[in-house]
Structure 1
Amino acid sequence: MTAVDAPVTATSTVPAPPTGPEARSALSSRFVGRKYVQLVLVLGALSAIGPLTIDTYLPALPDLSRQLGATDAQAQATITGLLIGLGFGQLIIGPLSDSVGRRKPLLAGLVLHALMSILCALAPSIGLLTVTRTLQGFAGAAVAVVSMAVVRDLFSGIRAAQLLSRLVLVLGVAPILAPSLGSALLALTSWRGIFVVLAVIALGMLVLAFLALPETLPVERRRPVSVTGSLRAYRSLFSDRLFIVMVLVAGLMFATLFAYISGAPFVLQDLYGMTPQQFGLAFSANAVGMIAMTQINPWLVKRYSPVSVLSFGVLLAVTGAVTLLVLMLLGVGGWFAFMAPLFFVISAAGLSFPNAPAIALNRHGESAGTAAALLGASQFMIGGAIAPLVGVFGNGTPVPMAAIMVGTTGLAAVLLLTARKALSKYDYR
């Protein structure tokens, strides 16, 4: 037997491929300087397809309802369908990405997103539009879960929170521009044309991902494709109480945002008489506050830790939501009394969106795709369950939306405060 034929024994000097933290460190060392900036821009652009899909057609909701003969609640159900698709899709695609890598699910999802966008544009009824929006959400789930898993593939702890903050800066451009883009498109086309534009955007993102995003999950760190293995990974996640608390906090804060997204088009345009263009500007103003908070967040987490910053953000959101509810019950101040407290609620979300996921994912780097899937699915499914309540309990005033926001932020605060002592003992560096 020659040296080439000899088996590798326990005493062999052939090094094994690095795994765990060593492998992650080797990967993350490739993304410094210009490559790090490129990674932020690419992931941010890919992640932005979700907010663009949700927000671009918001100014068209009243027109869409009239053209398809739908009620406000039925029109809002198209948002709910999208969120449900995003949620369930991640539960499937997350474990799959742990097995086959990140690129394949991402590219397939973008192709399907473009196809579903075209079908949305052709939908003849509100029922079929809701179905195609749900499938569009399923396709978008690949983008959402892969973007989050890539962050965890490369970084952990405070560095992950900092990268997520940078991503939200890029991601935040989408909610600022999307309603204004939708308003501008409505001046040229109908709501159907907006979905055609979304199809073009998805194809553009497909080219970007194919050319600029490398595979971040090496073969040696992948898990075999197995239903049993996926269920075992989910069971491990559900057995971690602190992880579940972070998932619920992230989901409830996400639901707060989507209560606003679901109700604001009708409140601002139908109640306060804003034009679609004015609505786009008002919607964007709150997004500016959220982005500002996300960019302060990297400095804050270095100084005070992700847990402390997250706690402050949730309590600030509760304060803003309660103030909004009181003012709306009193019926004073007009649109300004509606928008001002919302600015603090939505801005405070800028402190929860990077930190809650970073804390949760830091505990399960060995199954980043599955953990990111459960985290993302919970956000969209809780948001999808909450958003239609704004329409169901609608009474022609902003009170139902404000009451729902008090409930979601208040429950998030209670969950976080009950677990804060245990979370403070964990090292998130």
Structure 2
Amino acid sequence: MQQSSRFLDRRTPPHIVTLVVCAGLGALSLNVFLPSLSAMAKHFGTDYAVMQFAVSGYIAGTALLQLVLGPLSDIFGRRRVMIGSIIILLCGTIICLTASSVTVFMIGRLMQTAVVAGFVLPRAIIRDTVPMESAASMIAYVTMGMSLVPMIAPTIGGTLNDLFGWEANFILMLGLGLATLMLVSADLGETNHTPAPSFAAQFKAWPDLFASRRFWGYALTSTFSSGVFFAFLGGAPFIGTVIYHLSPTMLGVQFFLIASGYMVGNFISGRYTRRFGTMTMMFSGSVASMIGVIIAAAILLAGVESATAFFAPLALTGVGNGLTLPSSNAGIVSVKPKLAGSASGLGGAITVGGGAALSTLSGAILKEEGGAMPLLIVMAVSTVFALLATAFIRHVDKHDGAISSGDTGR
């Protein structure tokens, strides 16, 4: 039975607004300073490639941390782990602000990865309280609301950089982190009412997840679908600043396009997943992503030298992510509902680890003389693998039967 929630009543499950804010804080920490990477590299006297580790290294750190946060929330509860993670984020942000060298800055940046709890735990919290199809719809609404942050964060970050310097982005993170901590303390009621006995018990369950063909299908669909976006994150700052010579503010505007597409895709998922099912949404998302990449490639081949002409079609890859990821994430935490936290963490680690690899690859292969086409090739290949992974899930469902959608995780 679905558990009802009352806003700012921590005796009930959290309101959807609280879950949106938690996820939004994670998105803000990832991308608000992207237009400032060049200025930060100059400030610390290092190469752009080293500074880009603040993105790729952060993504890799979140991948590893999800392996711990999921089981921790199954043992100690969602509420305690969320609050502790936000506190660690705040400490890391202070270190970034006061760093005297790039090494110290990176230490603070890695501490900020604790905010990945804002991505991991809402999925588990939702699966604690609603069945699978409803979970996919609710996850879509959470990520739709959260997607407002990547829509506007780079634009705000670029503007803050131009007006006050790159440090202003981290002051913004600090203030919003404190506000989120107060909201979570007041509203996030515990939803894990059958805690796991120990870490050992949680990790003993991993072989069951690894042995599940369906788990791998959903995890790889999520990995390669989100990999399209992570590849974009790794390459877009270089393309925008070096190839199209955009200012930080204008680069932030281009990020707005793909993020707005992501919001549209999540809205469609929230509205129609219950009607058409998760499989249809996942296939449709990958097709939309591929169309966006093909259009952008055709514009490049036609010799059109316009940043907007390049970035605008990639908004369709955002739509594709919005269609695919809510359903694939709902599938990940539905394979073993009583291990929702661990499944969310493990699936998230696989997803973000793959994203870190693609982000690093995109940043490494791009050269000024090579143009933007190598990035589009990486994005296209990732989309093809997402389609194959979704086809594999359909194959498993035909042979083993689909997941029952009538049970909650507890």
> Using the alignment, how far apart are the partners of 1:356 and 1:263 within structure 2?
25
1:287-326 to 2 correspondence within 5 Å?
Answer: 287-326=259-298
- Picking from 160, 167, 188, the partner of 1:192 is 167
> Using the alignment, how far apart are the partners of 1:283 and 1:375 within structure 2?
26
Q: CA deviation at 1:125?
A: 3.0
SS of the equivalent of 2:5 reads coil
> Using the alignment, how far apart are the partners of 1:84 and 1:231 within structure 2?
21
Q: 1:155 to 1:240 in 2, by over 3 A?
A: same
Tell whether 2:218 aligns with 1:253.
no
User: Partner of 1:129 in structure 2?
Assistant: 105
AA paired with 1:147? P
Say whether the 8 Å CA contact 2:6–2:15 is kept in structure 1: no
Tell whether 2:183 aligns with 1:208.
yes
User: Partner of 1:77 in structure 2?
Assistant: 53
SS of the equivalent of 1:30 reads coil
User: Partner of 1:277 in structure 2?
Assistant: 249
SS of the equivalent of 2:402 reads coil
Say whether the 8 Å CA contact 1:72–1:391 is kept in structure 2: no
AA paired with 2:81? P
Q: CA deviation at 1:308?
A: 1.3
> Using the alignment, how far apart are the partners of 1:338 and 1:407 within structure 2?
18
Say whether the 8 Å CA contact 2:222–2:325 is kept in structure 1: yes
> Using the alignment, how far apart are the partners of 1:71 and 1:394 within structure 2?
15
User: Partner of 2:384 in structure 1?
Assistant: 410
Say whether the 8 Å CA contact 1:320–1:342 is kept in structure 2: yes
SS of the equivalent of 1:274 reads coil
Bigger mean CA offset, 275-284 vs 83-92: 275-284
> Using the alignment, how far apart are the partners of 2:7 and 2:190 within structure 1?
19
1:344-383 to 2 correspondence within 5 Å?
Answer: 344-383=316-355
Q: CA deviation at 1:323?
A: 3.5
State the percentage of identical aligned residues: 25
AA paired with 1:98? D
User: Partner of 1:223 in structure 2?
Assistant: 196
Q: CA deviation at 1:423?
A: 3.1
- Picking from 90, 95, 99, the partner of 2:75 is 99
AA paired with 2:195? R
User: Partner of 1:263 in structure 2?
Assistant: 235
Aligned residues: 399
Q: CA deviation at 1:161?
A: 0.8
AA paired with 2:375? M
SS of the equivalent of 2:52 reads helix
1:1-16 to 2 correspondence within 5 Å?
Answer: none
Larger Rg: 1
Q: CA deviation at 1:113?
A: 0.3
Tell whether 2:318 aligns with 1:342.
no
Deviations 1:59-112, CA, capped at 9 Å, x for gaps: 101211222233232222111111122111110121111111111111111111
Q: CA deviation at 1:148?
A: 1.7
User: Partner of 1:241 in structure 2?
Assistant: 213
User: Partner of 1:43 in structure 2?
Assistant: 19
AA paired with 1:100? F
Q: TM-score, normalised by structure 2?
A: 0.91
- Taking only aligned residues, the RMSD between alpha carbons, in angstroms, comes to 2.1
SS of the equivalent of 2:192 reads coil
Deviations 1:246-273, CA, capped at 9 Å, x for gaps: 1111112222111112222221233223
Which residues of structure 2 form unaligned runs of 5+? Answer: 406-410
Say whether the 8 Å CA contact 1:73–1:388 is kept in structure 2: no
Q: CA deviation at 1:390?
A: 1.6
AA paired with 1:386? L
Which residues of structure 1 form unaligned runs of 5+? Answer: 1-24
AA paired with 2:47? T
User: Partner of 1:11 in structure 2?
Assistant: none
Say whether the 8 Å CA contact 2:13–2:191 is kept in structure 1: no
User: Partner of 1:171 in structure 2?
Assistant: 146
User: Partner of 2:408 in structure 1?
Assistant: none
> Using the alignment, how far apart are the partners of 1:203 and 1:258 within structure 2?
27
Say whether the 8 Å CA contact 2:70–2:342 is kept in structure 1: yes
> Using the alignment, how far apart are the partners of 1:44 and 1:345 within structure 2?
22
Deviations 1:96-140, CA, capped at 9 Å, x for gaps: 111111111111111110000111122233333333222211x11
Say whether the 8 Å CA contact 2:24–2:118 is kept in structure 1: no
> Using the alignment, how far apart are the partners of 2:127 and 2:252 within structure 1?
34
Q: CA deviation at 1:45?
A: 0.4
Q: 1:199 to 1:32 in 2, by over 3 A?
A: closer
User: Partner of 1:7 in structure 2?
Assistant: none
Deviations 1:152-198, CA, capped at 9 Å, x for gaps: 11112110011011101210111112112212321332212321221
